[in-house]
A and B are shown apart, each in its own frame.
Chain A
Amino acid sequence: MKNKLTLGKTFFVLIVAAFTTGMGNGSVFGAAVMCAVGRGPYDNWGGWGAEAFDPSTFSGFVDWMMLVFGLAFAIITGLAMSKHGEIESRGDNTAW
């Protein structure tokens, strides 16, 4: 049997399902960090690398956190899936 869980086959599932999952976790982490560091004065805090007075960039930091977490989650899931595919292709269930 050949590996059914190659990156080519899982790619889009990972992009969507795992990436979103990661982004959800990243949003919580990002918001928590923002609450922790973001209570400073208004002038000098608009998220890291973002303008302070522009409401549309306030979320900048969390957006980044969501992307990083999403990417991490997609990579982790992708690695795990290809590993699973390898084991499943051997038809060997003793290796768990």
Chain B
Amino acid sequence: MLMKYLFAKNDEIPAGSATIFFGFSSIFWFVVGTGLGSFNAAKLAFPDWVTGTELFAFGHMRQVHVLAVILGWISMAFGMTMMYMTPALGNTKLWSEKLGLWTVFMWNVGLSLGLILLWMGITAGREYSDLIWPIDLVVIFGVLLPLGINVWMTIAHRRTQGIYITNWFFGACIFMLMIVFLVGNSPELFNLTGLTEAYLTFWFAHNVLGLWITPVAAAIAYYTIPKLTGNPLYSHRIGHLHFWAIIAFYSTPASHHLMSAPLPEWLKSFASVEGVLILIPAVAFVANILLTMKGKWSMFVENIETKFSITGVLLAIPLNMQGGFQQTRAINWYVHGTGWIVAHAHLALLGMSSFLEAAAVYFGLQSVLRRKLYSLTLANLHYWFFIIGFCIYWISMTIAGLIQGAGKIYEVPYIDVVVAEHPYMIARWAGGTMVFTGNVIWLYNMWMTAREGTIVPAGRYAHELAYER
């Protein structure tokens, strides 16, 4: 089907095709990514489980898990939301449905190729920018550029006077991500070495999180919550405060990842201060969304998309409290390099961000397919597997991290820390497996929605019908 549309005339492609392909690709990668995560976690808990082959060695799979989730699930869910939110907010249609489909195609092909190579060990050896530079170029020019062109042109051809806050985020974040990819991978492209390479690795890593994953997820909530509840956004000004604060403060604190490297001290202090300033956009975002909910809080327990969205927004509170303070020198001294950081990273990606995207994918696929969700029970099951699995994971890893931190500071023999952490490693595996199970349910549910979901009549929203029989 995708093949047919890739070479069709733009006008002959049904509106929303790109959204659908992006949506299902993202769920597929989520299943793959969390499955790998669960497998990796099992290896940390039971090191002799699957052993002796290079292919299933932990060191070959860990980065595949990370990038499948970041570039497959999260970024493709972003692509999906951009394909339907941008035109909806501009009261127009997508600039080019065909370009959108080519983007999905290139994305899936490029990412599969890159991940297979990574799995085989063909890597650049730089955390988060593990992909070798030819694949990086595919990502920049084959994926991000066409995605950006589509979004920017749709915004330019809008039929509304203003640009809604979500579209500000979409347009700016794609642009910044392209720059971040180019600059962050310049050590591979131009063979920059030494401390420059180390610094740029984390400059890239931080900015992908700070300028892409968290702000775009927040931008999605600016669309879904008003749309689902029917309330107008509480304050556009606070929304803009959020947006400009992200651009101004959160493009700078990269070096707080390297507090113990011989970077210039002024840079570390600067990054640390800028890192605390994340609280400004964070508070603006959370307050804005929670105030938008006023009068509709019952949807938090009754409506599945709202449940996902608000859970994501609530998880943004501890995320930013941790994120703002753990990178100050005092706390970083204690938690750097421990499981705490792993927990925090999952709080950002699996907690805050993924919940918001799941809501948007649920909502978007239903409204584009114009079909009601196949099974609300399965969706609720997905939610509970997801949230409980995530909580188990996050709590166990935070505690494991604190144990590690204490062991580090009091210079306990490392093996004692490994022993003390073992129960938490098992809990981590259990939690991750729950998330994976939930996602398998989700993929099935969404697939059945596309095939057998009740058709939504014109003029209604799918989520309004959720409880009508």
Q: How far is the CA of A20 from the CA of B344 in the complex (A)?
A: 12
B93 beta carbon closer than 8 Å to chain A: no
Give the most central of B296, B301, B326, B390: most A CB within 10 Å: B301
Per-residue 0/1 for B298-327: is the Cβ within 8 Å of any A Cβ (1 yes, 0 no)? Answer: 101110000100110011011101100110
B426 beta carbon closer than 8 Å to chain A: no
Task: Give residues 1-36 of A contacting B (CB, 8 Å).
Answer: 4-5, 9-10, 12-13, 16-25, 27-28, 31-32, 34-36
Q: How far is the CA of A20 from the CA of B318 in the complex (A)?
A: 8
Task: Give residues 22-58 of A contacting B (CB, 8 Å).
Answer: 22-25, 27-28, 31-32, 34-36, 38, 42, 47, 54-56, 58
* Interchain nearest-CB distance for A67 vs B (Å): 10
A81 beta carbon closer than 8 Å to chain B: yes
B335 beta carbon closer than 8 Å to chain A: yes
Q: Are B334 and A35 in touch, CB under 8 angstroms?
A: yes
Per-residue 0/1 for B395-420: is the Cβ within 8 Å of any A Cβ (1 yes, 0 no)? Answer: 10011001101110110100011001
Closest to B329 in A: A35
Q: Are A24 and B406 in touch, CB under 8 angstroms?
A: no
Chain B hits for A12, CB < 8 A: 384
Pick from A9, A25, A31, A56: contact of B334, CB below 8 A: A31
Q: Are B315 and A85 in touch, CB under 8 angstroms?
A: no
Q: Are A59 and B406 in touch, CB under 8 angstroms?
A: yes
Q: How far is the CA of A25 from the CA of B298 in the complex (A)?
A: 25
Q: How far is the CA of A47 from the CA of B334 in the complex (A)?
A: 14
Q: Are A21 and B315 in touch, CB under 8 angstroms?
A: yes
Give the most central of B295, B406, B420: most A CB within 10 Å: B406
Known: A35-B333, A55-B412. A9 touches B322 (CB 8 A): no
* Interchain nearest-CB distance for B291 vs A (Å): 9
* Interchain nearest-CB distance for A38 vs B (Å): 8
Chain B hits for A4, CB < 8 A: 298, 301-302
Q: How far is the CA of A64 from the CA of B351 in the complex (A)?
A: 22
B330 beta carbon closer than 8 Å to chain A: yes
Pick from A35, A47, A58: contact of B331, CB below 8 A: A35
Task: Give residues 44-84 of A contacting B (CB, 8 Å).
Answer: 47, 54-56, 58-59, 62-63, 66, 81, 84
Q: Are B403 and A32 in touch, CB under 8 angstroms?
A: no
* Interchain nearest-CB distance for B383 vs A (Å): 10
Per-residue 0/1 for B167-188: is the Cβ within 8 Å of any A Cβ (1 yes, 0 no)? Answer: 0000000000000000000000
Q: Are B420 and A32 in touch, CB under 8 angstroms?
A: no
* Interchain nearest-CB distance for A55 vs B (Å): 4
Known: A5-B301, A10-B301, A63-B399. A55 touches B416 (CB 8 A): yes
Closest to A80 in B: B297
Chain A hits for B296, CB < 8 A: 88
Q: Are B402 and A23 in touch, CB under 8 angstroms?
A: no
B347 beta carbon closer than 8 Å to chain A: yes
Closest to A27 in B: B398
Q: Are B416 and A27 in touch, CB under 8 angstroms?
A: no
22 contacts between A and B (CB under 8 A): A4-B301, A10-B301, A12-B384, A13-B300, A13-B301, A17-B310, A17-B311, A20-B351, A22-B318, A24-B315, A24-B317, A24-B319, A24-B322, A28-B325, A31-B326, A31-B335, A32-B325, A56-B403, A58-B407, A59-B406, A66-B398, A84-B297
